[in-house]
Amino acid sequence: MQLSRRSVTIGLLRLIIVVGVLGGPLAAVASAHPVYRVRPGDTLSEIAKNDDTTIIRLERLNRLSPTSPLLAGSELSLPAPSVPELRYVVAPGDTLSGIALRFGTTPAAIAAASGIASSGPILIGTTLRVPSLASGRLERPEASVHTLDYVVAPGDTLSGIALRFGTTPAAIAAASGIDASGPILIGTTLRVPSLASGRLERPEASVHTLVYVVAPGDTLSGIALRFGTTPAAIAAASGIDASGPILIGTTLRVPSLADGRFEPPAPSVPELRYVVAPGDTLSGIAVRFGTTPAAIAAASGIDASGPILIGTTLRVPGVSDAGSSPAQSSYEVRSGDTLDGIAARYGLSLGVLADMNHLDVDAPLLVGTRLVLPAGASAGGAPGVETASVRASLVRWADHYGVSEQLVTALAWMESGFNNNLVSSAGAVGVMQITPETWDYVEQVLLLGQSVPDTADGNVRIGVAYLHHLLHIYDGDPYRALAAYYQGARSLLLQGFLPGTTQYVEDILALAQRF
């Protein structure tokens, strides 16, 4: 189709008008940027530094490449003067639109200045750069957020604490640097922000704690019941595993949810004051009074693995007559007797019997010598026979599996005091404190399906066989083998030594020196 000269002329006039109309605003926008005339010797970095900007901004604004020459006399557009801005820390309940409204700007302007997405969430504690579109000085609104340090008590939940202080779980979690969906541990210090005006007041404390030393026969559930709390609360406050055994002499922190003053119950375990005499050892005193070295050490505030000084007064738990020493029995050495034979007959270790009588285990035993034996020790009495039987089983199975007799004996003493009737809160039973799972594993895997009778001797066999297996796993290292016996091999692999494991192992290794 051919166009007339008139139509072409009209079209050209319309194009000129449109260009003219658009040219005005475009020129105005371009002229909004200051212009700098390049001088000889100028560099882009010097110009950027003098104008408080960056080389990249200058390159983008002037469509320059890093290799473009900078010619003297050419004009460079400089960035427009910066907008005043404020650094603002996001508080609980803040939104981007709310902050923008408060400071007279827009969400998009804050997002661009802060390098965040305007459509995404903003995290409490994030520092935002807030530019202001309004003229004049940018003023920060008066702060309205208060914080309190709060120590988590038994029974607390994140939602409950948030409700108590008029805030939200997410706000507490963000301020404290924890996961809002995870558990909170008793004793953890939380930072609690509040959106309410005025001073943030802490509710009156209602949790009390007591330091309690584990006595023979104690269980975590029993202690919790006695003090009106829960096993989990005691375990969390004491840094121990609620499902594991508790050792005699361990110091626990017992929180109570009850109101009022927290009073410990009257002591239910009698004790005796004993003055250390020359030749005494902690293990010897423990055997003499029917308790354990750990119990005496804990009650007396001393180190069970350290030496005891002559003249030191010890507190011996578990002795009913606090005014006198227990009645001791004695034995007159006969022809053919040996010290280790007498020890085995009465269910004692050679070291303990020698310590009690201040004898050298390698010295000859003279006929007619009267040996002091622990109270209740009798070759013909029930307790003596039972203990001697256990002691004989330990020697027998230690020899059978090629394990140190002293190590096995110390382990059995630490676990139960040679008491085959002992049952722990975790369900471990007998001399070696074997759980049903461990018993089944030893029978089915280590003994290839062989059934072991549920007797004191059978319990000792299962425990020694399992210890032998652990020693094999850990290349004969008794330290790691005992740790796995106490804590579990899988737990030791995944978590390392738990609180209490190291002390348990060191106590047994120290006891082994005395057996």
Q: Which residues are catalytic?
A: 415
CA end-to-end span of the chain: 119
Q: Report which residue type is found at 267.
A: P
Strands 329-332 and 313-317, bridge-based pairing: unpaired
Strands 127-131 and 146-151, bridge-based pairing: unpaired
Q: Report which residue type is found at 483.
A: A
Which SS3 state, helix, strand or coil, does residue 212 take?
strand
Residue 289 · residue 316 · CB < 8 Å: yes
Residue 207 · residue 235 · CB < 8 Å: no
What is the spatial distance between Cα 292 and Cα 306, in angstroms, rounded to a whole number?
15
Residue 414 · residue 507 · CB < 8 Å: yes
Residue 435 · residue 245 · CB < 8 Å: no
What is the spatial distance between Cα 347 and Cα 356, in angstroms, rounded to a whole number?
14
Long-range CB pairs of 152-155 (<8 Å, 24+ gap) are 152/184, 152/185, 152/186, 152/187, 152/188, 152/189, 152/190, 153/186, 153/205, 153/206, 153/207, 153/255, 154/186, 154/207, 154/229, 154/230, 154/233, 154/236, 154/237, 154/255, 154/257, 155/233, 155/257
**Number of Cβ atoms within 10 Å of the Cβ of 60:** 11
Q: Look-up: residue for tokens 């607390």?
A: 156
Q: Kindly give, in sequence order, each residue whose CB lies less than 8 Å from that of residue 348, ignoring residues fewer than 6 positions away.
A: 287, 373, 374, 377, 387, 391
What is the spatial distance between Cα 14 and Cα 348, in angstroms, rounded to a whole number?
118
What is the spatial distance between Cα 197 and Cα 358, in angstroms, rounded to a whole number?
75
Q: Identify which of 113, 138, 142 has the alpha carbon closest to the alpha carbon of residue 128.
A: 113
